[in-house]
């Protein structure tokens, strides 16, 4: 790191009005951990099993001048604690922790380094990279040396908060899993260029809480906003040296604090975040946080000392047999040690804080295999997963695992405990490969679109456990999957060496944008194919924000450091076909929600129910006949049908009575004739989706036996029209009429609220759902 050593140091300031005095110090309590305001004073408690002394350092309100150092007087159950009756919300503080500096034994205590409270709920200032932040003399490259420079001038500090907040609603949304549709987004990127958001609020929690963005998300049909990391994180030094930032935020330092950079008023970040959650809940949108408990920004033995490393390195991190070094199952330099009881408590306390105090509805765990890893390896009944399962709060929120890491045995898709959902990258890769025309993919496509029973049908888990996705923040956007053969990450400053090279993508003749109408037509149809496959498959769909608008990152498949137009959604430069694509996506989600057969909670078997004489699913050749083993093994086959019988059992005791559906997928590059098969209880087929059409389907009716000419690279959804008609009153008839009504209402809307407003200037917003706070407590609005 090329940083000059600065002569900046903390001067001994004489406070005009001290916030606390050592003479008033009391013993305090070892619980709860962190800085807790009780209405009369503040209790400070910090865990360290190996420290010999802990000093509480108090600063002025700017965090620039250290006012006082107070030795915490008590040590109980490996917790250092003290109580200051004169301290108040707004108090700025940090810690200096004493103990052995013995890297060979895993200890890296250095009281010259100001340390952030792991339970900090609001931060002050910004971390400034400087050699003084390192526990060793960084310039020597020798981590066994001891650095005596004070890091306080360059270190972010914690501020005591008053958590009081008036929620207008006390209930959690708890959208059923089988009705959930995730929408992965970046708080800043989603609103930074949105003209329907007032300029000062763009890119902030308050901006996301504005009427236009929420109206758009709600009208699109998604039910949960999955936010990329918003817990306070650090910009890596190597990025700041290049003028870049850690845009995605997978570098968390403070597990209880919403990051100030996303707050319209940074001093009110925690209150502004609560207001955002309240607004989302008003719109019936759940809030899911992407959380990073697997590593910290302190890196390996050559990394800085910011918090955990200086508080108790041997407890917080998994160390190698030679304790000077770190186990690096995350690929980031260190791995958080959840085998330690107090470290596990930190993570559990953090999750409960966000679920209870901040009212979020669930969590997506980055590199979740790390959290379930014990010293002997991944354990689906490990401490963390067991703790979550028995916790009365966390067992009731949505839990989503990214089920892989780069450690040994790190790929664990389908192996998490009951109650968890998991990102299913097998769905992504299989569906991409199929629509790109790879041979021999039909058997695996059949498994993926029916809930991936081969992975998840164990221990009573349900199809919703498979989170199906086509793209995510990491990788190409959906539009770029069909516009680029190769990654184009030059803007990242790593000579295009970063990012995946295996993208299962294709440009159809031209790399990047083109004016060739034929190429554009194929690309647009392929995007519709992918979206239709996603929303018509069993499992829980996740849509990357902007894919429904064909957002491009110009071929960058690793935009983690691009806090600019590469990553931000462009709301104003949309062409007509992109607006149509958004309506098409809205149409798909509405159909999914209206047809229970698409999200039933049972895995499909293709076996005949002897009691009912019904198969829940039948796999058809283009002739309308059931596939044989020969057909399954035909590597050249790229067109098949999926017949979903609405009479199949909904549960173990309830017989189904929904409308029967037929999905036809044709990955050939040419037309294939498909014979519409006969089905019990219906007189003809109604086409609900045809991805060959630029607009929405007009629901044409076609007789059984009709030879439908399926366009090359296209997908169709048919619904069986009941024999009795709408007046017969049967459930299948009502299902048919319900879908017709839903689609008619969408046609009447003629667009998406919020997308229309994107072209309108923003107006001042009404008061929020909650009570805004200052660092010292609530203030009037």
pLDDT of 79-114, one tens digit each? 999 999 989 999 999 999 999 999 999 999 999 999
- Residues 6+ positions from 620 with CB-CB distance below 8 Å: 626, 627, 640, 641, 642, 643, 662, 677
Which residue in 350, 110, 116, 143 sits closest to 230, CA to CA? 350
- What pLDDT is recorded for position 539? 98
Give the per-residue pLDDT at 613. Answer: 74
Mean pLDDT value across residues 149-177: 91
What's the pLDDT score for residue 733?
65
Q: How confident is the model at residue 67 (pLDDT cuts 50, 70, 90)?
A: very high
Residue 119 near residue 82, CB atoms below 8 Å? no
Torsions phi, psi for 406 (to 5 deg): -95, 10
CA angle (579, 560, 299) in 5-degree steps: 160
Among 226, 402, 563, 733, the active-site one is: 402
pLDDT higher at 93 or 754: 93
| Region 126-138 average pLDDT | 97
What is the mean pLDDT of the segment spanning 3-16?
34
ω into residue 748 within 30 of 0, thus cis? no
Give percent of the chain with pLDDT exceeding 90: 80
> Would you say residue 552 has pLDDT above 60?
yes
Stated pTM of the model: 0.93
> What's the average model confidence in pLDDT over 61-87?
96
Q: Work out the burial of residue 733: count CB atoms within 10 Å of its CB; fewer than 13 is exposed, 13-18 middle, 19 or more buried.
A: buried
Six token digits for residue 634: 């035909």
Q: Is 613 exposed, middle or buried (0-12, 13-18, 19+ CB in 10 A)?
A: exposed
Q: What is the mean pLDDT of residues 542-561?
A: 98
Give the distance, in angstroms, between the CA of residue 64 and the centroid of all CA atoms in the same chain. Answer: 35
Q: Is the pLDDT of residue 16 over 70?
A: no
Residue 725 has pLDDT above 60, yes or no: no
CA distance 678 to 618: 12
Spot the catalytic one: 366, 547, 645, 690.
Answer: 366
| CA-closest candidate to residue 118, choices 80, 164, 70 | 80
- 72 pLDDT more than 70: yes
DSSP H or E run through 270: helix 269-282
Mean pLDDT for the stretch of residues 508-525:
97
Residues whose CB falls within 8 Å of the CB of residue 626, separated by 6 or more in sequence, listed in order: 618, 619, 620
Q: Is 181 helix (H, G, I), strand (E, B) or coil?
A: coil
Residue-level pLDDT at 354: 98
Q: Is residue 335 over pLDDT 50?
A: yes
In the predicted structure, residue 277 carries a pLDDT above the cut 50: yes
Sequence-distant (6+) residues with CB within 8 A of 701 are 684, 685, 686, 687, 721
Of 720, 706, 536, nearest in space to 623 by CA: 706
Residue 695 CA to residue 751 CA, distance in Å, equals 12
**Tokens standing for 759?**
């072209």
pLDDT digits (tens, 9 = 90+) for 343-380: 999 999 999 999 999 999 999 999 999 999 888 888 88
Model confidence pLDDT, tens digit, residues 484-511: 999 999 999 999 999 999 999 999 999 9
Cβ atoms within 10 Å, residue 168: 11
Question: Shortest CA distance to 609 belongs to which of 653, 642, 664, 660?
Answer: 653
How much is the pLDDT for 649? 76
* Segment 403-462, tens digit of pLDDT: 999 888 999 999 999 999 999 999 999 999 999 999 999 999 999 999 999 999 999 999
Span 546-559, average pLDDT: 98
611 included as an active-site residue: no
Q: What is the mean pLDDT of the chain?
A: 90
pLDDT at 781 over 60: no
pLDDT at 728: 47
**366 assigned to active site:** yes
Region 662-679: mean pLDDT is 97
Are 294 and 371 contacting, i.e. CB atoms less than 8 angstroms apart? yes
pLDDT number for residue 612: 73
81 vs 306: CA distance, rounded Å: 20
């Amino acid at each position: 790191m090329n940083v000059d050593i600065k002569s900046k140091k903390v001067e001994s300031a004489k406070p005009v009005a001290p916030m606390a005095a050592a003479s008033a110090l009391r013993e305090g309590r070892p619980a709860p951990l962190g800085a807790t305001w009780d209405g009369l004073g503040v209790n400070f408690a910090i865990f360290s099993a190996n420290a010999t002394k802990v000093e509480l350092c108090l600063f002025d309100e700017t965090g620039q001048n250290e006012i006082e150092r107070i030795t915490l007087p008590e040590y109980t159950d490996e917790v250092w604690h003290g109580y200051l009756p004169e301290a108040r919300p707004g108090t700025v503080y940090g810690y200096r922790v004493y103990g052995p500096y013995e890297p060979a034994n895993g200890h890296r205590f250095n009281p010259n380094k100001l340390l952030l409270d792991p339970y900090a709920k609001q931060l002050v200032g910004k971390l400034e990279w400087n050699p003084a932040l390192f526990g060793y003399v960084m310039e020597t490259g020798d981590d066994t040396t001891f650095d005596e420079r004070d890091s306080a001038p360059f270190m972010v500090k914690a501020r005591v908060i008053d958590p009081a907040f008036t929620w207008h609603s006390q209930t959690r949304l708890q959208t059923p899993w089988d009705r959930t549709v995730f929408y992965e987004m970046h708080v800043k990127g989603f609103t930074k260029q949105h003209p329907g958001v007032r300029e000062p609020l763009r890119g902030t929690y308050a901006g996301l809480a504005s009427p236009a963005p929420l109206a758009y998300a709600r009208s699109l049909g998604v039910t949960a906003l999955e936010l990329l990391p918003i817990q306070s994180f650090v910009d890596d030094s190597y990025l700041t040296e290049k003028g870049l930032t850690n845009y995605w935020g997978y570098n968390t330092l403070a597990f209880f604090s919403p990051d100030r950079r996303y707050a319209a008023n940074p001093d009110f970040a925690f209150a502004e975040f609560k207001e955002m959650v309240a607004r989302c809940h008003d719109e019936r949108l759940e809030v899911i946080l992407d959380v990073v408990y697997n590593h910290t920004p302190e890196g390996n033995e050559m990394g800085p000392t910011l918090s955990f490393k200086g508080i108790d390195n041997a407890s917080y991190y998994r160390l190698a047999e030679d304790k000077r070094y770190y186990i690096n199952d995350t690929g980031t330099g260190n791995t958080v040690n959840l085998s330690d009881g107090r470290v596990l408590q930190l993570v559990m306390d953090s999750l409960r804080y966000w679920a209870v105090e901040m009212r979020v509805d669930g969590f997506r765990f980055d590199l979740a295999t790390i959290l379930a890893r014990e010293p002997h390896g991944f354990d689906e009944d490990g401490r963390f997963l067991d703790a979550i399962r028995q916790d009365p709060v966390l067992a009731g929120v949505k839990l989503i695992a990214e089920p892989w890491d780069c450690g040994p045995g790190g790929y664990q898709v389908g192996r998490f405990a009951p109650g968890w959902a998991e990102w299913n990258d097998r769905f992504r890769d299989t569906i991409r490969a199929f629509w790109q025309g790879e041979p021999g993919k039909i058997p695996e496509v059949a498994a993926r679109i029916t809930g991936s029973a081969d992975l998840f049908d164990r221990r009573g888990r349900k199809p919703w456990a498979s989170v199906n996705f086509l793209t995510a923040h990491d990788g190409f956007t959906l539009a770029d999957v069909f516009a680029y053969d190769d990654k184009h990450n030059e803007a990242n400053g790593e000579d295009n060496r970063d990012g995946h090279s295996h993208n299962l993508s294709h440009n159809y003749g031209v790399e990047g944008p083109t004016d060739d109408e034929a190429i554009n037509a194929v690309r647009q149809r392929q995007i519709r194919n992918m979206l239709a496959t996603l929303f018509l498959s069993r499992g829980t769909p996740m849509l990357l924000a902007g894919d429904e608008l064909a957002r491009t990152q110009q071929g960058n498949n690793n935009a983690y450091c691009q806090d600019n137009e590469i990553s931000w959604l462009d709301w104003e430069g949309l062409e007509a076909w992109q607006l149509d694509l958004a309506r098409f996506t809205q149409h798909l989600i509405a159909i999914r929600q209206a047809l229970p057969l698409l999200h039933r909670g049972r895995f499909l078997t293709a076996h005949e129910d002897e009691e009912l004489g019904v198969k829940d699913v039948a796999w058809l050749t283009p002739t309308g006949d059931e596939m044989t083993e020969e057909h399954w093994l035909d590597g050249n086959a790229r067109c098949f049908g999926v017949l979903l019988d609405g009479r199949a059992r909904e549960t173990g005791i309830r017989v189904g009575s929904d409308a029967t559906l037929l999905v036809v997928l044709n990955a050939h590059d040419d037309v294939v004739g498909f014979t519409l098969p006969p089905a019990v209880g219906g007189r003809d087929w109604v086409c609900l989706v045809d991805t060959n059409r630029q607009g929405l389907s007009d629901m044409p009716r076609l007789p059984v036996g009709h030879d439908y000419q399926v366009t090359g690279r296209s997908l169709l959804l048919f619904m069986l029209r009941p024999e009795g008609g709408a007046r017969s009153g049967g459930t299948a008839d009502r299902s048919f009429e319900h879908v017709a009504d839903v689609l008619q209402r969408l046609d009447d809307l003629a667009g998406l609220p919020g997308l229309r407003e994107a072209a309108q200037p923003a107006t001042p917003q009404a008061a929020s759902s909650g009570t805004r706070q200052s660092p010292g407590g609530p203030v009037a609005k």
